Homo-oligomer: A and B are copies of this chain.
Amino acid sequence: MNGSSPSTRERILAAAEALFAQRGFDGASLRQLTSAAGVNLAAVNYHFGSKDKLVEEVFRRRLDALNAHRLEALARIAGQPSTTVEDVLDAFIRPALELSHDDHGALFMRVLARAFAEHDDTLRQFLSDNYGHVIRQFTAEFARLLPHLGKAELYWRIDLVTGALTHAMSGFGLIRRQSGVSEQAHREQTITHLIRFSAAGLSHP
């Protein structure tokens, strides 16, 4: 049933990631999408069942890898006495930024930011299912490192950190890569600024 066509299915997913990031889920039509991918219009419904299912698949493919990397990085430092708030933030941020190594990965972060903006309930539910346990584990580690903060206070600050992350990762903001700076160096700079900023916001008395 699968493993047969390495081409069509993947071409659709790649084109979908790019077009969803560029024009949004509603704005990108299946005709634009299949035309860009060089496949037949009916191929989407054949391989994925519907446009909504395709959207879910675009998310699942990336989120599974992203969350696995995050939890892996967290497991290496969680509970250790030498671990700092900056370390935990690095474990959360770096996998997301390094996903952008892949050209399509950078587009995916914009897709993710769009999904946050859309208040569609089914999509939020889907994201909550895939994200929930990750956020919970990171929150627990933050709580250990910041015992002076009440539960409500900690939630507030983590929520604001999430906002800064989403903003920076999706390329919303004014900051753009300078022409003289390599993609690699710019990413490292972004991580550094994000961690310093978030650590200060999280830790302050």
Contact = CB atoms under 8 A, between A and B. Distances in A.
Interface of A: 21-22, 24, 26-27, 110, 113-114, 116-119, 155-157, 159-168, 170, 172-175, 193-194, 196-198, 200-201, 203-204
A161 B175 CA distance: 13
A35 B157 CA distance: 41
A21 B203 CA distance: 34
A197 B204 CA distance: 8
A5 B98 CA distance: 55
A167 B157 contact: no
B24 A118 contact: yes
Contacts of A155: 174-175
A163 B168 contact: yes
Contacts of A119: 21-22, 110
In this complex, the member of A26, A166, A201 whose beta carbon has the largest number of chain B beta carbons within 10 angstroms is A201
Contacts of A161: 164
A197 B157 contact: yes
Contacts of A201: 164, 197-198, 200-201
A167 to B, nearest CB: 2
Contacts of A113: 117
15 contacts: A26-B27, A155-B174, A156-B175, A156-B193, A157-B197, A160-B164, A160-B168, A160-B193, A160-B194, A160-B197, A160-B198, A163-B168, A163-B173, A164-B201, A201-B201
A204 B200 contact: yes
Contacts of A167: 159-160, 162-164, 166-167
